[in-house]
């Protein structure tokens, strides 16, 4: 037999009898209120009270404050969400580059040039290199070029590599640090390309090479059997990328090398999970990278469509 203690009743309208449709369980109401006051710590993801002045697990102060517990600091807890967002953005920019100047798109049977966007599309949407940067001062292309591709094989290869290496970086560095490395590694790769005189360059491979560099640093720094396996496996990828770049014309090896170097530096500066868990600083820096990326891509789309219409 269950107890009705803590249960309140509402009388019927006529005879003072109990109306069963209006029974309110105060215990359930109290539990609901407690659930509303419970949050996941934005730093360590432990379940705590929203009113805690300091997280009892990681020590972060005022974990329930809006600037520490918001959509961004709660975002991307699932590993697939961020990777899907990056992949879909790359695909969207690729489709737009085909549609912007459709008559200039290549329908060649050569797999390396199949469905290649018109060079005008790539230029107005934010291709990097000495031509757009030195001649037009378009420094923002160091970000946008990471989301443009020169053909269907180009984007398929890069998205496959991103999916594989990205999951590994998320596992060892965390979601927010992964996006920081992807963004800044790509920027560094295209900056090196610019400094070494590459006239026009695009592709997510510079950013992916940034992730590869971070994994190489992780494997070498961690050591042990697991670290050695990771280093050798991803090191084989790195060697293969450079061999492919020397064999196939038109590959930006400077961008690849710069991205890997940037990834190694970022891996060292940001640290990985076994040495340092992701902190609020990583989440805020990751948020800055998202804001900059979204702003640059929106500018690239709007300005590219405008130049297509007026030009």
CATH number of the domain residue 244 falls in: 1.20.1540.10
Q: What residues contact residue 26 under an 8 Å CB cut-off, 6+ apart?
A: 6, 7, 8
d(CA 14, CA 222): 77
State the pLDDT confidence band at 75, using cuts at 50, 70 and 90: low
Q: For residue 145, what pLDDT band results from cuts at 50, 70 and 90?
A: very high
Average pLDDT on 187-216 reads: 96
What's the confidence (pLDDT) of residue 24?
Answer: 45
Say what the pTM is: 0.77
Q: Tell me which DSSP letter residue 118 carries.
A: P
One domain for residues 40 and 107: no
Residue 160 clears pLDDT 80, i.e. is over it: yes
Same domain, 94 and 170: yes
pLDDT at 14: 45
**Are 166 and 51 found together in one domain?**
no
Structural domain including 276 reads 75-310
For the stretch 124-137, pLDDT in tens is 999 999 999 999 99
Widest distance between CA atoms in the chain: 93
Angstrom distance (rounded) from CA 149 to CA 308 = 19
Q: Between these two residues, 176 and 41, which has the higher pLDDT value? A: 176
CA distance 185 to 259: 5
Total domains in the chain come to 2
Kindly list the distances between the CA atom of residue 9 and the CA atoms of 1, 28, 168, 239, in Å, as whole numbers in the listed order: 19, 14, 57, 75
Say if 214 falls within a structural domain.
yes
Q: Are residues 37 and 155 in the same domain?
A: no
Same domain for 37 and 18, yes or no, is: yes
3-state SS, 53-108, equals CECCCCCCECCCCCCCCCHHHHCCCCHHHHHHHHHHHHHHHHHHHHHHCHHHCCCC
Q: Which of 37, 56, 72 is the endpoint of a domain?
A: 72
Give the C-alpha separation, 280 to 60, whole Å. Answer: 9
Q: Distance between CA atoms of 173 and 267, rounded to whole angstroms?
A: 8
- The CB density around residue 179, as the number of other CB atoms within 10 Å, is 27
pLDDT at 102 over 90: no
Residue 231 CB contacts under 8 Å (≥ 6 apart), including other chains: 216, 219, 220
In a domain, 174, yes or no: yes
* Same-domain pairing of 180 and 225: yes
- Which of residues 33, 50, 72 is at a domain's end? 72
Domain identity same for 301 and 284:
yes
Give the per-residue pLDDT at 106.
Answer: 61
Tell me if 2 is assigned to some domain. no
1 falls within a domain: no
**C-alpha torsion 298→302→303→309, nearest 10:** 160
Of the listed ranges 49-58, 80-89, 269-278, 283-292, the one predicted with least confidence:
49-58
pLDDT at 294: 96
If asked whether residues 66 and 79 sit together in one domain, one would say no
Is the per-residue pLDDT at 27 higher than 70?
no
Count the Cβ atoms, other than its own, within 10 Å of residue 112: 15
The mean pLDDT value of the chain amounts to 84
pLDDT average, residue stretch 151-156: 92
pLDDT at site 68: 62
Q: Which residues are catalytic?
A: 205, 256
User: Which of 44, 72, 100 finishes a domain?
Assistant: 72
85 and 51 housed in the same domain: no
pLDDT: is 115 or 118 the higher one?
A: 118
| More confident call, 81 vs 138 | 138
Which pLDDT tens digit goes with each residue over 4-15?
444 443 444 444
Residue 180 token pair: 């920081």
């Amino acid at each position: 037999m269950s107890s009705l203690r803590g249960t309140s009743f509402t009388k019927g309208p006529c005879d003072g009898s109990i109306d069963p449709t209006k029974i309110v369980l105060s215990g359930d109401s109290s539990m609901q209120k407690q659930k509303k006051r419970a949050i996941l710590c934005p730093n360590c993801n432990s379940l705590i009270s929203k009113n805690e002045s300091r997280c009892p697990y990681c020590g972060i102060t005022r974990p329930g404050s809006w600037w520490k517990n918001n959509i961004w600091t709660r975002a991307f807890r699932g590993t697939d969400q961020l990777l899907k967002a990056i992949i879909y953005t790359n695909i969207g920019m690729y489709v737009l580059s085909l549609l912007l100047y459709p008559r200039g798109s290549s329908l060649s049977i050569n797999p390396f040039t199949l469905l290649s966007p018109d060079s005008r599309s790539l230029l107005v949407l934010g291709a990097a290199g000495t031509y757009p940067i030195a001649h037009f001062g378009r420094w923002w292309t160091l970000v946008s070029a990471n989301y443009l591709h020169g053909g269907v094989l180009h984007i398929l290869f890069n998205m496959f590599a991103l999916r594989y290496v990205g999951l590994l970086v998320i596992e060892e560095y965390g979601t927010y640090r992964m996006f920081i490395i992807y963004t800044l590694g790509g920027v560094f790769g295209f900056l090196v390309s610019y400094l070494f005189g590459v006239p026009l360059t695009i592709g997510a491979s510079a950013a992916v090479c940034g992730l590869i560099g971070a994994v190489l640093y992780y494997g070498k720094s961690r050591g042990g059997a697991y670290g050695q396996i990771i280093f050798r496996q991803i090191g084989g990828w790195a060697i293969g990328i450079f061999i492919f770049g020397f064999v196939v014309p038109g590959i930006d090896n400077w961008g690849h090398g710069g991205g890997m170097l940037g990834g190694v530096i970022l891996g060292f500066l940001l640290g990985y999970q076994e040495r340092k868990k992701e902190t609020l600083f990583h989440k805020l820096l990751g948020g800055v990278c998202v804001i900059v990326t979204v702003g640059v891509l929106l500018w690239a789309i709007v300005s590219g469509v405008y130049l297509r219409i007026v030009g």
